[in-house]
Amino acid sequence: MQDIQALARQIFSNQPFTRHMGAQLTAMGSDHAEITLPIADHVKQQHGFVHGGAISYLADNAMTFAGGLALNGDALTAEFKINYLRPAVGTHLVARAKARSASKRQAVCQCEIYAVDGSEEKLCALAQGMVVPSN
**Contact positions vs its own copies (CB under 8 A):** 11, 14-21, 41-46, 50-54, 56-58, 60-61, 64, 76-86, 100-101, 103, 105-106, 108, 110, 123, 126-130, 132
Could you tell me if 127 and 63 are in contact, meaning their C-beta atoms sit under 8 angstroms apart?
A: yes
Helix (H, G, I), strand (E, B) or coil at 129: strand
Q: Which is nearer to its own copies, 1 or 47 (CB)?
A: 47
Q: Alpha-carbon distance 50 to 38, whole Å?
A: 10
Nearer to its own copies, 109 or 119 (CB): 109
Q: How far is the CB of 132 from its own copies (least distance, A)?
A: 8
H helices present in 22-127, as ranges: 52-71
Treating both helix axes as pointing N-terminal to C-terminal, what angle do 52-71 and 2-13 enclose, rounded to 10 degrees?
Answer: 150
CB of 69 to its own copies, least distance (A): 15
Q: In whole angstroms, give the CA distance from residue 54 to residue 99.
A: 21
| Minimum distance, C-beta of residue 111 to its own copies, in the bound complex (Å) | 10
The CB-of-72 to its own copies minimum distance in angstroms stands at 17
Nearer to its own copies, 1 or 17 (CB): 17
